[in-house]
């Protein structure tokens, strides 16, 4: 696992993006042309890169950087140990990223690797948004604060929205909707509020994560005989849409809802109730809304979710054109002609943010 900066840039970068339910590997050329891409649900790296050209550098997505990592950083043994210490704050992601790092550096020895962090985009959160109302000694001892996640996705969505519209809207709410999901309030390109917090459990209803719940519930469950480990596992893996409808697959939930399955219909209602409330809260943090942006697997590919949220936010001036909404293929402006808020769909390209961060981290100082 090398950590020495490269002699020059640009460079060919292999991006490694372990998600909560998937793994994607992309090789980007010097001009960010995608030379090769592999994806899967496992984390065995060697077969995925065997036939790819050799990269100059490797960039690995890490969900949690804590307070130590606010920029991409070359990886060495010390950094790896620090990343391992953060694993219990993102149990669905951090171990997967550490495993992928071990696999890819084993498959490609001697190539420098860089960690790129989802939390880094949210270092601009004001204290009022980042601070939990907890005892000061807890906040100081355990560094309890809202970190925010999906930062690589949000960062790209901001940049791409600026390219599509010719300027970055001053007040944006970006909706990263996938297996994991969160919203971000972005003022002048900077994160000022977000729905995920200390861990990726807070906020929206997700595929298998509960999102925000009364903190008394896990305490009550533990008091009544469940172990802390079982409660934590259930909140991460057996809750959310899976807990409501028996599946975390939104496509399957739509199918079941079409068959009038009561659990699927209820799951959609709960999902959209939380989504509407959080989107309105993000808008309140901004003091208004100029653009609503959808990204992530559901955000990009589910026109019914986009339409329903747009209808829920009509009072803010959001309205989407039905034909544009159903005809999305890649990046698109789906705003209706009479809307005061622009609504866009942006294909998630975390690989581009990882590559850019890797090049910055390895550039000569």
**How high is the pLDDT of residue 6?**
44
CA distance 110 to 105: 8
| Chain CA centroid to CA 144, Å | 20
Residue 321 in contact with residue 334, Cβ under 8 Å?
Answer: yes
H, E, C per residue of the chain: CECCCCCCCCCCEEEEEECCCCEEEEEECCCCCEEEEEEECCCCCHHHHCCCCCCCEEEEEECCCCCCCCCCEECCHHHHHHHHHCHHHCCCCHHHHHHHHHHHHHHCCCCEEEEEECHHHHHHCCHHHHCCCCCHHHHHHHCCCCCCCCHHHHHHHHHHHHHHHCCCCCEEEEEEECCCEEEEEEECCEEEEECCCCCCCCCCCCCCCCCCCCCHHHHHHHHCCCCHHHHHHHHHHCCHHHHHHCCCCHHHHHHHHHCCCHHHHHHHHHHHHHHHHHHHHHHHHHCCCCEEEEEHHHHHHCHHHHHHHHHHCHHHCCCECHHHHHCCCCCEECECCCCCCEEEECCCCHHHHHHHHHHHHHCCC
- 174 phi, psi to nearest 5 deg: -105, 130
Judged on CB neighbours under 10 Å (0-12, 13-18, 19+), 215 is exposed
User: Which among 56, 118, 193, 302 is annotated as catalytic?
Assistant: 118
Query: Do residues 63 and 90 make contact, with C-beta atoms less than 8 angstroms apart?
Result: yes
Provide CATH 3.30.420.40 ranges for the chain.
13-125+351-362, 151-345
Instruction: Give the pair of three-digit tokens for residue 325.
Output: 């909404």
Domain 13-125+351-362: CATH superfamily, name plus number: ATPase, nucleotide binding domain (3.30.420.40)
Residue (of 160, 169, 194) closest to 180 by Cα position: 194
How much is the pLDDT for 48?
84
Report whether 152 contacts 118 (CB < 8 A).
Answer: yes
pLDDT of residue 230: 97
State residue 331's pLDDT score. Answer: 98
Phi-psi region of 240 (alpha: psi -120 to 50; beta: other; left: phi over 0): left
Which CATH code, of 3.30.450.20, 3.30.1600.10, 4.10.520.10, 3.30.420.40, is assigned to 151-345? 3.30.420.40
Q: Using an 8 Å Cβ cutoff, are 294 and 346 in contact?
A: yes
**Tens digits of pLDDT across the chain (365 residues):** 444 444 445 699 999 998 766 788 999 999 999 999 988 765 567 788 888 999 999 999 999 999 989 999 999 999 999 999 998 888 878 988 999 999 999 999 999 999 999 999 999 999 999 999 999 999 999 999 999 999 999 999 999 999 999 999 999 999 999 999 999 999 999 999 999 999 999 999 999 999 999 999 999 999 999 999 999 999 999 999 999 999 999 999 999 999 999 999 999 999 999 999 999 999 999 999 999 999 999 999 999 999 999 999 999 999 999 999 999 999 999 999 999 999 999 999 999 999 999 999 999 87
Cβ–Cβ under 8 Å, residues 270 and 211: no
**Angle subtended at Cα 334 by Cα 331 and Cα 339, rounded to the nearest 5 degrees:** 140
CA 316 to chain centroid = 25
User: Is 230 labeled as catalytic in the residue annotation?
Assistant: no
Bridge partners of 128? none
């Amino acid at each position: 696992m090398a950590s020495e900066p490269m002699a020059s840039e640009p460079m060919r970068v292999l991006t490694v993006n372990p998600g909560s339910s998937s793994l994607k590997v992309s090789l980007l050329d010097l001009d960010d042309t995608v030379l090769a891409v592999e994806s899967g649900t496992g984390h065995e790296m060697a077969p995925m890169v065997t036939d790819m050209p050799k990269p100059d550098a490797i960039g690995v997505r890490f969900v949690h950087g804590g307070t130590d990592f606010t920029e991409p950083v070359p990886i060495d043994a010390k950094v790896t140990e620090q990343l391992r210490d953060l694993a219990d704050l993102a149990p669905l992601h951090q171990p997967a990223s550490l495993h992928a790092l071990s696999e890819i550096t084993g498959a490609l020895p001697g190539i420098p690797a860089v960690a790129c962090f989802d939390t880094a985009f949210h270092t601009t959160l004001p204290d009022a948004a980042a601070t939990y109302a907890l005892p000061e000694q807890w906040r100081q001892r355990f560094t309890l604060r809202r970190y925010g996640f999906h930062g690589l996705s949000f960062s790209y969505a901001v940049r791409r929205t600026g390219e599509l519209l010719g300027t970055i809207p001053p007040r944006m709410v970006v909706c990263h909707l996938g297996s994991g999901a969160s919203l971000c309030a972005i003022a002048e390109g900077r994160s000022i509020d977000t729905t995920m917090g200390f861990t990726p459990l807070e906020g929206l209803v997700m595929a298998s994560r509960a999102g925000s719940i009364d903190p008394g519930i896990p305490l009550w469950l533990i008091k009544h005989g469940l172990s802390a480990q079982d409660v934590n596992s259930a909140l991460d893996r057996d809750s959310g849409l899976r807990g409501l409808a028996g599946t975390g697959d939104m496509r399957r939930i739509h199918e079941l809802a079409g068959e009038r399955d009561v659990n699927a219909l209820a799951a959609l209602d709960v999902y959209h109730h939380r989504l509407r409330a959080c989107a309105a809260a993000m808008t309140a943090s901004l003091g208004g809304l100029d653009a609503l942006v959808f990204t992530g697997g559901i955000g990009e590919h589910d026109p019914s979710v986009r339409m329903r949220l747009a209808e829920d936010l009509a009072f803010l001036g959001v309205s989407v054109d039905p034909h544009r909404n159903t005809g999305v293929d890649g990046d698109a402006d789906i705003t209706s002609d009479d809307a005061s808020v622009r609504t866009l769909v942006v294909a998630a390209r975390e690989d581009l943010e990882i590559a850019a961060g890797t090049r910055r981290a390895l550039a000569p100082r």
